[in-house]
Structure 1
C-alpha cells in the first residue's frame, strides 16, 4: 500500500500520523480511547499532538480532568485534516487499483429501514471478493448521510426519501419505491381492519422518527396535505425501537411495506392514501473510490463516469 509519510510545513513536518491522532481525539473526545483506536500508547499519541501544536503555534484541544474538546483553532484545523487523510488514502487506493487490486476502506451508511438491498448479504459478497478492503458501517438519518457523503466521511449511503425530495450534491441511483403501511399492536382496535385511511389514523398516538428528518417528513407531509394533524408522542431513531414500542401498545406507526416483514409482534394495515418513499443509493459527486465503485458493482450500479449504468443520475 502506498505510504505518504509527511507534509511539508514552514519550519517543520506535519505527519499524516499526527493528523490521524487529531481526528481520533476529536471523534472520541478522549485521549485514551483515541490511542486505543490508533493502536498506540496514550503517551505517544499525546506527545505527537503536543508536537504538532508547537509546530502550528496553536492549541488544538482544551484538556481538563473531565473532558477534551476542540479549541477554535482545532475546529478550523479538523476539516482540512480529514480531507488530507482522505486524499492520502484515496491516492493509495487508486495506485493499487491501477495494478488491479482493490484496497483501502469502504464506509457504508444507511437508514434503519433499508429494504431494497440486503445489506448484510451485499457486504459479505463484497468482503469475499475484496478481502483487503476495510469495511465500516454506520446508521444515520438520510439527510445526515448525504452530508457525510459530500464530506467524504461515508463512501456509499442508502437513503429513504419522500418522492418530493431528491438527493443533492451527490451521485444518486434510485433503487425502489414503496408505500408506507400502518403498524399496530395485535390487540389494537384497528388490528382487525384490512384497510384504513389517514383520517382514521389521525386520532391515534404515534411512534415515529425524530422531527425534521426525511423519514419523519414522509408521514408529516402526508397528514399535512390531507389537512390533518397527529400526536407523535414517541420519537426514536431506529425502526426496531419503533416496532417494540408499537408492540407494547404505546402507539402506532407508519413504516415502509417492504421493511415490515422483518418485524415480529405487530400487525400491518394497508393505508389507502399513504405516502410513497423512495430508496436511493448515493456516492460522491467527485466519483466513487475504487472500493466504492467495486461495492456499487456488486449491487449492479456503476459510477456514471465509469461505464454502463444508464439509470444513475447526477443531482
Structure 2
C-alpha cells in the first residue's frame, strides 16, 4: 500500500516507512525500534533516511547519546499516528463487511415447495454454520434463471423441464415428481391404480394461479389439453388452499406433480400416466463456489437421498 504526497513531492512514502518512523518516534532509539519491528537497526536507519529524503523533512535530531524528534517530526508523528489508526479501522470495517457478505446466503423458494424437507435442510445448515444468515426469498417462476445470473440468489430450485443446460450454472438433481390426480375419496375414480388423461372425461378440474404457473414450468397438462379430452376446466380458485378445499368437498379434481409419499388429509391421489416425472434440481453459479453454497447443496442431496416418511400437504411442489 502506498500513500501519495502532493504533486510537488513527486515521490511516495510507504506504509512500512511510516511504521519504522512511528516506532523510532515512540522508542526514541533505533535499536529498540528494530527489535519492535523484528528487523535490524541498519534497516530501520535506511527506511528513516529514505523517508526524510522523499518528504524533504528533517524528522529526528540524532547524536551518539540520544534521538529526539524535531518540531516537524513531532507534528508529523501526531498526524501519522492518527492516520494509521484510521487506516486500521477502515481495514477492519472492510474486512467485517466482506466476512458478513460471505456468510450471507440467499436461497430461492418455489411456490408449493417441499417445505418440510426444506426446513430440515435449513436447520442442518444453521447447525453447521451457526453464524451464517440465510435469506429465503420467493423464486420467480417466469424467469427462474435470471435471479441466479444477476446475483439475487446464491441457490435456486428448478425443474429440469424449464431450462436448457447452462455452462455457467451447476444443476444437481434431487428427486423426481410423478403426476397425480387429486380427488375426493368418494370419487368413482378413487379406487383406480392409475389413470390416463382420457379417463378424466366429464370430470371437473380446478385451476389456480399457482398451479397454472407451476404446471407450465413443469410442462404438465395445459388447460387446452384437458379441454380437448372433455374435462371441465371452468372451476377456478384464487389459491392452492382454496383448490384443496374444493377437492376435499368433491366438487373438483386437480392434477399436480408430487412426491409419491405425500399424504393430504381428505384427499386421494392417483398416478397419471400420460406425463413423465419431472426432476427437481438445486442450482448455483459455477464460478468461485463458496463453502456455504457447496455445503447447502450437499445437505440438500443428503436429505433427499433417504426415503421419505409420509409427508403432509406442504410436501407438494
**Band of TM-score, shorter chain:** 0.5 to 0.7
Contact 1:141–1:215 (8 Å) recurs in 2: no
| SS of aligned partner of 2:104 | strand
- Structure 2 runs not aligned, ≥5 long: 1-93, 303-317
Which residue pairs with 1:268 in the alignment? Answer: 269
> 1:198 touches 1:274 (CA, 8 Å); kept in 2?
no
Q: Which residue of 1 aligns with 2:175?
A: 176
SS at match of 1:268: strand
Q: CA deviation at 1:285?
A: 4.6
Contact 2:194/2:270, CA 8 A, preserved across alignment: yes
Whole-Å separation in 2 of the counterparts to 1:114 and 1:126: 18
Contact 1:181 1:274 in 2 (8 A): no
**Structure-1 separation of matches of 2:114 and 2:189:** 25
Residue 188 of structure 1 is matched in structure 2 by 187
1:253 match? 254
Give the corresponding residue for 2:147: 148
The match for 1:312 is none
CA distance in 2, matches of 1:232, 1:259: 28
- Matched residues, number: 205
Which string of whole-angstrom CA distances, capped at 9 and with x for unpartnered residues, describes residues 110-166 of structure 1?
22444599211110000011111111223445444422222222211122353x744
Aligned counterpart, 1:219: 220
> For residue 234 of structure 1, what is the aligned residue in structure 2?
236
Q: How does 1:79-228 map to 2 (within 5 A)?
A: 96=99, 103-115=102-114, 118-162=117-161, 165-166=163-164, 168=166, 170-210=169-209, 213-216=213-216, 218-220=219-221, 224=225, 228=229
C-alpha contact (below 8 Å) 1:198/1:223 kept by paired residues: no
* Distance in 1 of aligned mates of 2:136 and 2:98: 24
- 5+ residue gaps, structure 1: 1-90, 302-315
Measured in 1, the distance between the counterparts of 2:95 and 2:142 equals 30
Change (3 A) 1:297 1:201: same
Q: 1:255 to 1:189 in 2, by over 3 A?
A: same
Q: Which moved more, 1:286-295 or 1:213-222?
A: 213-222
- Considering fraction of residues, name the structure with more strand: 1
**RMSD (CA atoms):** 3.7
If the length of structure 2 is used for normalisation, what is the TM-score? 0.53
Question: 1:161·1:278 contact (CA, 8 Å) conserved in 2?
Answer: yes
Partner residue, 1:24: none
- Report the CA distance between 1:245 and its aligned residue: 3.3
**Which residue number corresponds to residue 79 of structure 1?**
none
Give the conservation status (yes or no) of the 8 Å contact 2:107–2:155.
yes
Q: Retained in 2: the 8 A contact 1:207–1:251?
A: yes
Note the alpha carbon deviations across 1:272-294, whole angstroms, 9 max, x for none: 32332110111125444443223
Matches within 5 A, 1:14-25: none
> TM-score under structure 1 normalisation?
0.53
Asked if the contact 1:93/1:104 (under 8 Å) is kept, the reply is no
Equivalents in 1 of 2:160, 2:108: separation in Å? 15
